[in-house]
Amino acid sequence: MSTQCNACRDGAAFQLPFSMAFQPIVDMRTGKIFAHEALVRGPNGEGAASVLSQVQSDNRYAFDQQCRVKAIELASQLYDSNDEVRLSINFMPNAVYEPRACIRLTLATAMKTGFPLDRIIFEFTEDEQLDAKHVLHILRTYRDMGFKTAIDDFGAGHSGLGLLTQFQPDIVKLDMALIRGIDLDPVKRTIVKHTLKMLDDLQIMPLCEGVETAGELSVLRDLGVSLIQGYLLAKPSFEQLAVPVPAHVLLGKAA
């Protein structure tokens, strides 16, 4: 792996300007915002694809590093210093050649801006084939350093259950394909119900993303889900913190 890592570390800089939008993750038990996820956007709010399409193997490391810096810098400007809301940052495992070395800029940025390290969640999506040992090394290192960890799009990736047998992250985000239309699909309800039971047994916090209708939200509430993210509550807000619609208001519409 060393040759590939050196190529990643010594590769091209990421020249395309970009910024971030923030989407809230809401705790339905308290009605409060649990975290904001930082989502890459073009410099004028263009969709993520306009930026991600320019990420290649030779500039992936630089892009991953710049994303962390941009997310923390913006969040430090937008967050209330007395608030305990977390910041969820997506990272690319294939851009991390050695976790303790690659985290240095993140640590320096947090120190410079005064953003608390214990409020940072690192999440990754299994959207490409990954070296399981490498991913586990990253996740375990981040946990040892006090960061929270999350697996995104669970149920749609390459490893899924296999990864959970070796590492239990703090949060698992159920793929939106399992959530979409769950109020009309008994098969999805059964799958999600048993997935939630498994995560509870493993002491992993479930998060259901991609919630778009009051009917979906109602079913998830009845299944005992606390953490919710989706357009129904709030769309990502470019360089701002979106204010979600209260869950009780949305559930009232579903009644």
- pLDDT tens digit string along 14-41? 889 999 999 999 999 999 999 999 999 9
Q: Are 147 and 119 in contact (CB under 8 A)?
A: no
More confident residue, 1 or 17: 17
Mean pLDDT within 85-113? 93
pTM score, two decimals? 0.90
For the cut 80, the answer to whether the pLDDT of residue 46 exceeds it is yes
- Give yes or no for a contact between 133 and 178, defined as CB atoms under 8 angstroms apart: no
pLDDT, position 64: 93
Residue 254: pLDDT band by 50, 70, 90 thresholds? low
Q: pLDDT tens for residues 63-94?
A: 999 999 999 999 999 998 778 899 999 999 88
Q: What is the pLDDT of residue 9?
A: 52
Residues 176/210, Cβ–Cβ less than 8 Å: yes
What confidence score (pLDDT) does residue 252 get? 73
If you average pLDDT over every residue of the chain, what do you get? Answer: 89
Phi, psi of 20 (to 5 degrees): -135, 145
First to last CA, the chain: 55
Please report the pLDDT score of residue 159 as a whole number: 60
Burial class of residue 48, CB neighbours in 10 A (0-12, 13-18, 19+): middle
Q: Which domains does the chain have, with CATH numbers?
A: 2-250 (3.20.20.450)
Q: Which residue has the higher pLDDT, 153 or 121?
A: 121
What phi and psi, each to the nearest 5 degrees, are found at residue 125? -110, 135
Is a pLDDT exceeding 80 seen at residue 214? yes
pLDDT (average), residues 102-112: 94
Q: How confident is the model at residue 13 (pLDDT cuts 50, 70, 90)?
A: confident
